[in-house]
Amino acid sequence: MSPLSCRQAEELLDLYAADACAPPEAEAVSAHLATCAACAATLERSRELVALLDWQAREPDARRRLDGRVAAEGRSRRTLLRTPPPLVRRLGSLAALLLVAVGLAGWLGRGGVVPGVLPEPGEEVIAAVTLTPAAVEFTDGAAKPFPEAMVGPARGDKERAVDEGALKILLDKHAQAEAEARPGREVRVRAEAGAPVRLSLDVRNDLGRPMLLRLDDERTQALLELSGPGVRRQPAPEGATPELSPPTLRLEPGETKRVTLRRLVSGPPGARTVLSLAVPGDYVLTVRLRVEAEFPATGRERGREGVVWLAAPPVRLRVTGE
Amino acid sequence: MSTHAAERPASDEELARRCSRGDADAFRALTDRYYRPVCAFLLRRLGDAAAVEDVAQDTFLEAFRSLKAGRLPERWSSWLFGIAHNCLGKWLRRRRVLPFGAADPPEEIAAPDERSPAEEAEEVACRLAALDKELSGLDLDTRRLLELKHKEGLTCEQIGVRLGRPVGTVKSLLSRTYKLLRERLTPPREDRP
């Protein structure tokens, strides 16, 4: 199917959201969504509507099933309180905090959609690489440096894995960029000299309570190093801040939001484009972030504060001549 | 005066107290009040009706067990939404839901959201109420079509066979109906450029 215009895509978006498109149509809509922010926003509203219709249709039966289970529970003599013992709860919180800080998008190849990233007009997402938590510590003394905290299968909970974060690399679509995935967690990007790069980070709260991330200049530290031709392990200038947007982020459980890093290593203030790979050759970009998090008190849990360190494996960028 | 007192609906906390003493009707009354708000809160996060039912069921059962065990919340609604939060987190971890699916569309840039869960739930509950109203205004054929799609979970091809109509007609009618409902239910997006 040939590429869709916005008007053609919009005609199909509701059916796409309801999983009622024929496969060729669905593919064409997916391809269009990868490059069109306006249609992606419309799709979000279509999905909300479909979810409301699905739920509204099953509400009476769902309610009956709940009443039945409550009645059965009421007849049961035993009361099952499933609150875990304090230590287990604390460990669970730590593991969940690692899940929180980060979310992951996998490598999807050129021309595909890297979910969670909304390219600007003229940009194309060409690569995604994993961010992993490097350490987590609570400010009230319950520090657990990585890897003694529960990265990987957690102690006592082998089923639990640590979700990962997403660092997306966006290159100008006119840069004729190519990228290839490598085994492990390394992504190689091939781009034309002079290609600008923008970075964004998706943050997901997988903790069972709300979370407030402080991303303002005073509370967030970023270490961004670029090495390559003409650039020797260039860290962010002393005192420079990454200009994260928005400055604070409230995340409900299960919610994912995006943080854009507007300025990293170089570039004029406020510039969206932060790296310019001007000289052909191999570059390595390393990113680490320290983010402060606040967990408001809920009905069961007291309020807490914590610090999360995030680190990404090096991103290798091969820049070819013009 | 006593008549007035008798007519006034019991507070949430009073119903919770009664429930903890074994009054099953009291818990049903609480469920009547809060089932939709809790589901609305979950729907916003999960976006999947079956998952919402699962987590809502966990939430109310856990609340019921706690009340039976003698735990009385100071403020029922905050307590219940707190349980819903916890159940949601457990559900996500149990299912090991990945943050993003390969077919998910790009997200928009997030804006800080300072609303409470109850406020958010109220917004979605209002949209559900508006949806009820809009659906009741649709003709019978269209309501039947939506029922076959969303309640019985049929594909457009299956609906076409069931209704004896070409699949193209089914899709066309569905598409028109979705568009109509979406436009009527979507609030003005002042936060978007």
Tens digit of each residue's pLDDT (9 = 90 or more) over B15-26: 999 988 888 889
ipTM > 0.90 for the complex: no
Residue of chain B whose alpha carbon sits nearest to that of A300: B82
What's the distance, Cα to Cα, between the start and end of chain B in Å?
Answer: 56
Chain A nearest-CA distance from B23, in A, is 10
- Answer whether A52 sits within 8 Å of B43, measured CB to CB: yes
Average pLDDT over residues A30-35: 80
Could you please report the per-residue DSSP string of B1-57? -HHHHHHSPPPHHHHHHHHHTT-HHHHHHHHHHHHHHHHHHHHHHH--HHHHHHHHH
How far is residue B80's CA from residue B69's CA, in Å, rounded to a whole number?
15
B145: contact with A, CB 8 A cutoff: no
Identify which of A204, A178, A151, A158 has the alpha carbon closest to the alpha carbon of residue A316.
Answer: A178
Chain B nearest-CA distance from A297, in A, is 10
Of A18, A206, A252, the CB nearest to B178: A18
Average pLDDT over residues A278-299: 64
> Which stretches within chain A are classed as H helix?
6-17, 23-33, 37-75, 86-101
Of B106, B127, B175, the CB nearest to A52: B127
The predicted structure's pLDDT at residue A188? 46
- Answer whether B171 sits within 8 Å of A15, measured CB to CB: yes
Give B104 or A13, the one with higher predicted confidence: A13
Tokens 């290839």 -> residue: A180
Contact map slice: A 86-145 vs B, CB within 8 A: 96, 99, 103-106, 108, 113-119
Angle at CA A264, nearest 5°, toward A262 and A270? 40
| Residues in chain A within 8 Å Cβ distance of B174 | 14-15, 18, 20
Strand partners, A295: A304
pTM listed for this prediction: 0.49
Report the DSSP pairing between strands A315-320 and A187-192: parallel
Tens digit of each residue's pLDDT (9 = 90 or more) over B153-168: 888 998 999 889 999 9
| Residues in chain A within 8 Å Cβ distance of B186 | 45
